[in-house]
Each structure stands twice: as C-alpha cells, then as structure tokens.
C-alpha cells in the first residue's frame, strides 16, 4: 500500500532524495558565489556639478568621499548637501546593481527576491531637493527629551564629588576603579 507522498519504489525515492540534495548543493554554491560577489562590490557616483564623488561598499556604507577642485571654496551647506545627495545616488546605483547581480547569479527565487527587496527598502530613490540656504545656522545638540523637559531654576544641579585632599588616590572619585586588583 503506497501513499501519494511516498513512492512505492524505494529506489525511486532514493533517487529523488539524491536529486533534491544535489539541487540544494547547486543552490548553496550559487548563493555562496553571490555573497562573494556582493562582498567585493562597490559603487561610485559623482555629483552632477562635479563637486563631489562618493564610493559605497556592498552595505551602502561610504568608503570614499572626494571633494573635487570644483568643491573647494564652496559654501559648507551646499557642499554637505552635495555629498549627501551623491551618497544617495551611489546607494541607489548599488541597489540596482544588486538586483541585476542577484537575478543573474541565483535567478528569481524567494530568497533572491528577499535580498533585492531588502536593498530596495534601504536605498530608495534619492530625493533631489534644493540645498539649504547659506547663512547662519543653528545646531541643536539636545535630545528631544531635553527639549521638552521643563526647566526648574529653583532646583540646584547635583554637584560631582571632589577628591579628598588627604592623599587619597581618587579611586573612589567616580565610584571606584574599573580595574580591580
């Protein structure tokens, strides 16, 4: 008595398992090749005005930021904007190249689509917006919690303990030494 899930011929079943294992090995080899090619990948983009050039690695992390002769003496806000936009362009090129490489190496399967989708989510099309106006800028280094917390001038700030003048080596100055004897 045979079931639809299991062939009645043990040799046919063994052959099917062998073929399935070979397919897994081929697929693993293709993904290993893809990983190696992705790890070696880098992409460079240049700003349209030629002011900057940015190279990103396979994770989209900048590995080179170049300010060309055209960028010398540029307004810092403009230069910052140009570098950011150029990095986003490089990341978008990376996303597109990863999609092509994945399709060529492993084909169109679920795992390959997941890789491509991950890059599409991380590196969307760059937004071409206007650079910030030059002039005085304010940099707020506070955290949102600090900005919204009410200030109470009547409450004194806690003071830090000071080392004693009795020859103490100060190990207990901030709670003790990090090195224990």
pLDDT > 70: percent of the chain: 66
| Strand 52-57, strand 62-67: pairing | antiparallel
Contact 114, 121 (CB under 8 A): no
Is pTM beyond 0.75? Reply is no
Q: How confident is the model at residue 10 (pLDDT cuts 50, 70, 90)?
A: confident
- The answer to whether 43 touches 64, Cβ cutoff 8 Å, is no
Q: What is the pLDDT of residue 62?
A: 96
119-173 pLDDT, tens digit per residue, is: 999 998 877 666 555 554 444 444 454 444 444 445 554 554 555 555 555 444 4
**Token reading at 170:** 């100060």
Average pLDDT of the segment spanning 8-16: 87
**Upper half-sphere CA count for residue 139 (Cβ side, 13 Å):** 2
DSSP state of 71: G
According to the model, what pLDDT value does residue 131 have? Answer: 59
The band of 90, judged by pLDDT with boundaries at 50, 70 and 90, is: very high
89 class by beta-carbon count within 10 Å (0-12 exposed, 13-18 middle, 19+ buried): buried
Tokens standing for residue 51 = 């002011």
């Amino acid at each position: 008595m045979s079931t639809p899930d299991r062939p009645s011929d043990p040799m046919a079943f063994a052959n099917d398992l062998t073929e399935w294992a070979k397919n897994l090995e081929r697929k693993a080899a293709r993904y290993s090749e893809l990983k190696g090619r992705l790890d070696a990948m880098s992409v460079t983009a240049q700003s349209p005005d030629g002011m900057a050039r940015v190279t990103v690695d396979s994770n989209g992390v900048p590995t080179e930021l170049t300010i060309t002769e055209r960028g010398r003496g540029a307004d810092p806000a403009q230069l910052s904007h140009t570098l950011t936009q150029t990095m986003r362009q490089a990341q978008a090129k990376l996303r597109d190249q990863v999609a092509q490489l994945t399709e060529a190496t492993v084909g169109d399967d679920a795992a390959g689509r997941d890789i491509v989708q991950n890059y599409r989510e991380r590196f969307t099309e760059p937004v071409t917006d206007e650079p910030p106006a030059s002039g005085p800028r304010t940099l707020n280094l506070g955290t949102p919690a600090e900005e919204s917390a009410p200030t109470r001038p009547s409450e004194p700030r806690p003071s830090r303990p000071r080392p004693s003048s009795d020859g103490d080596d100060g190990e207990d100055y901030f709670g003790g030494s990090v090195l224990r004897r």
